[in-house]
Structure 1
């Protein structure tokens, strides 16, 4: 990759391993296996059942925030792009409460943190586009980094290049990403990051 002037990261499963068990969350919330949780919640009418589901999701997310562990190389890569003047942001389907708890626990700072309270959740491209506009950087010069299909789709639909973080098995949708990253210690080389500052 060339001309990378901004990097947007997913949070859970990308920067940190929050050990969230989405299957257990779905089962506890009464959602069908494989259904995206936020979409399943959106289809549930307001009332006691929905309130119960929201409480279950919040409990899982906050537990994940408290147990989150940074992936190897994340701190070093964030420092590299910061030193090069390349802005970074987080775009997560998580709540702001859980996202800020996770980031605060590891003392991670970003120019923007966009959660599901701020923009329609991925794979909707509104979040990435919002970040690009605030930076004033063309979408073609921003990279979206994430571990799941929705991250790749959101980036592609926004006109950005995408990086799939896959530290273990390579999923069947990996071909949709521009690059597959297995270890953040290789990120600077794979993304060919260079100074964003004017000469």
Structure 2
């Protein structure tokens, strides 16, 4: 039973947290590009052109950003199984009170909090920003999007770093007889 629980835990971590890490990391780039007057690499012109060349690039970037947000939101729900099966595995292995596991659980809770309370809401705000500020001039939305996207990138970096630490703790398991 322990091997089954551990297998589901590891597979869930790879299949749920991995896509969140990638999608959340890519999101700020496309949010910046989708803002009116924002970065439009590969569109054939500079941001803010009114000849229609950038409208397609803005729309495509906005669509990609929206898709990445849906990936983050959807996989966040599925990601709940990671700590559930992790705790079940820890109970089977009788390591629920080990320091490395407690630290892992605390870091997991912090990462989940960052995702639910900061990353996902900030992504939603960035998705809504271009539509809310488009009538104020294209520079306004781009000016607001840039710093917000930079903050989101930093939050995503912290989220990913926390998960990397948890993975190392799960592999090394300090103090265990199988640890390094």
- TM-score, normalised via structure 2 length: 0.31
Greater fraction strand: 1
Greater fraction helix: 2
